[in-house]
Structure 1
Amino acid sequence: MKNTATLFLTFLFSLSMLAEVSNAEKDALVKLYESTNGSQWTVKWDLSSPVSNWYGIKLQDDKVVSINLTNNNLVGEIPAAIGNLVYLQELNTHRNKISGTIPSAIGNLKALKVLNLSFNKLAGIIPSSICKLSNLKDLELYMNGLSGELPMQIGALKQLEILSLFNNEFIGQIPNSIYEITTLKTLLLNSNMLTGGLSSDVVNMTSLENLSLFDNKMNGQVPFELEKLNNLKEMNISYNMFNGIVSKDLAALDTLNMTMVNHQGIAVLLDIATDKNSSVVAED
């Protein structure tokens, strides 16, 4: 009986060794390796070994579900073949030297929950195809050279909790659809070139805990609706061109106490309401 059990376990182990990802997925990984100078990675892949042994790769039921190559000296571009990893739930290449653009094929990754391409050398726009990733919870593209306007359809990411796009070169206004993402907890858009106002529809973002618009070119009245966001714990909207009156509570919540830049380029503090009724008057 003991020998039978041993043989059975050996058989199962042999099957597990034979199990492997599909050719399409393996080819996509090889193209990623080759297009980002894999031979110079800090931790390299042995392409002759099973994919399950490759650094930063996580498999589930013989499908690639996670790529985490943080700080691994990736130099080059993300290949369009990345879109063939259709079971992928996490793609993390934080702190590398990836250049080029974000391939639109990334919109094929319908299972993706985490997309972190931050701290690289990416350029170009955010492809609108990213807005098709309905399962996405974490989108981090900060510290790149991305430009253009934010995708108008970004509000389609109904499960998004983290949107971190700071230190890029984005222009234009914040899309109205962004205020429809009620699950969003962290919104970091600081150090870009965004213009326009902050909509009073921000009141819909009831889960928001951290808001940073610091160092942009936004203007108009600071919406008093921000006070209704009970979960908001951290905010920095200073060094924009906002004007008007703000409440004492909002000024205290802002990291730099609502320090703005006027048309002469001089830093000024916004006027603080002297009583609780001032905000109501200002809205009228």
Structure 2
Amino acid sequence: MKKIFTLALTLAVSAMFAAIPAAEKIALIRLYKNTNGAQWTNKWDLKKPETQWYGVTIKNNQVTGLDLSNNNLTGTLPTEIGNLTGLVKLNLFKNNISGQIPTRIGQLQNLQSLNLAFNKLEGNIPTTIGQLVHLQNLEMYMNRLNGNIPAEIGQIKGLQTLSLYNNELEGEIPTTMYGLASLKVLLLSSNRLSGKLSPDMANLASLENLSLFENKFDGQVPFDLEKLKNLREMNISYNMFNGLVSRKLAQLDTLHMTMINEQGVATTLKVEKDNTAIANED
């Protein structure tokens, strides 16, 4: 019995320290070196097993989690990050990561949560993001990302949170996004987005929080948005919307539908009640 117990213990210990695939170890080491690992708040001892590296979760000899949030990573993301194909969660929130998001991030097709927020990332959001079909939470706010929101995001059917506020994104909201029936939180404020809101936004049946604050949207706020029965919080002020808005929607806006007209002057949308337009400050 003692021999059996010893053997079982040996196997368990061996499994615990089993090496991850070489490609995954290369990716981790490259990330460490690219982001000045020697200056991390919680450093890695590369001589020790990967199971002892801070923020690394390993299951079945694969890296499934990487949480290095608020850890003073300074530098760029390596293309080899695409080697971490077993990742379910990647959290690099609040560091000093600069440069572009590697297109190979689309290879992380097991990801359920991706947080790159509060860094210094720039350039376009890669279209390969649409390959992350299991993603539920996508957070890239507080960066310097520009260009259009990729239409490919509409392929992530299980997406629940999309947070891209405080970037430099341009263009219209892709129509493909209106098919995201599971989306609960859509935060796109403080960008350079423009165009008119489509009535199809009412297809976001699960939406609870909508923030389009401080962009360049214009036209009328679609009355169809009243169909969003789960909507609890909305902020669409400091855009260039005009015309009438429903009272129900106006009551959700914390800044009372304050807009900026073409002359740069703050105005207030009028609220429709019983087919009569009245100022919403009454």
Displacement of 1:198 after TM fit?
A: 0.9
Aligned alpha-carbon RMSD (Å) = 1.2
In 2, distance between residues paired with 1:133 and 1:17? 29
Greater fraction strand: 2
Q: Percent identity?
A: 53
Write the distance in 2 (CA, Å) between the matches of 1:102 and 1:51: 24
Match of 2:129 in 1: 130
Q: Give yes or no for the alignment of 1:188 onto 2:193.
A: no
**In 1, Cα distance between equivalents of 2:129 and 2:214:** 26
Structure 2 counterpart of 1:49: 48
Provide the C-alpha distance between the structure 2 equivalents of 1:257 and 1:182, rounded to a whole number of angstroms: 27
Amino acid at match of 1:192: N
CA drift of 1:43 comes to 0.2
- 1:245 is matched with 244
Say whether the 8 Å CA contact 2:75–2:96 is kept in structure 1: yes
Alignment partner, residue 280 of structure 2: none
Task: State the Cα distance separating 1:12 from its structure 2 match.
Answer: 2.3
Q: Per-residue deviation at 1:18?
A: 4.3
Q: Distance in 1 between matches of 2:256 and 2:16?
A: 60
Measure, in 2, the Cα distance between the counterparts of 1:162 and 1:278: 36
Give structure 1 regions of 4+ aligned residues with deviation exceeding 4 angstroms. Answer: none
CA deviation string 1:124-157 (max 9, x = no partner) = 0000000111111111000000001111222111
Is 1:148 aligned to 2:112, yes or no? no
Which amino acid in 2 is paired with 1:69?
A: L
* SS class of match (1:195): strand
Partner secondary structure for residue 65 of structure 1: strand
Counterpart residue number, 2:27: 28
Which whole-Å CA distance do the structure 2 matches of 1:17 and 1:60 have between them? 9
Q: Which runs of 5+ in 1 are unaligned?
A: 280-284
Q: TM-score, normalised by structure 1?
A: 0.95
Letter in 2 for 1:111: N
Deviation at 1:274? 2.7
Residue by residue over 1:148-203, the C-alpha shift from the partner in whole angstroms, topping out at 9 and shown as x without a partner, is 11112221111100000000000111111111111100000000000101110011
Write out aligned runs for 1:14-163 (5 A): 14-163=13-162
Structure 2 segments unaligned to the other structure (5+ residues): 278-282
Number of the residue aligned with 1:269: 268
The letter for the 1-side match of 2:38 is: S
Cα distance between partner residues in 1 of 2:169 and 2:107 = 24
Structure 2 length-normalised TM: 0.96
> 2:17·2:51 contact (CA, 8 Å) conserved in 1?
no
User: Aligned with 2:97: secondary structure?
Assistant: strand
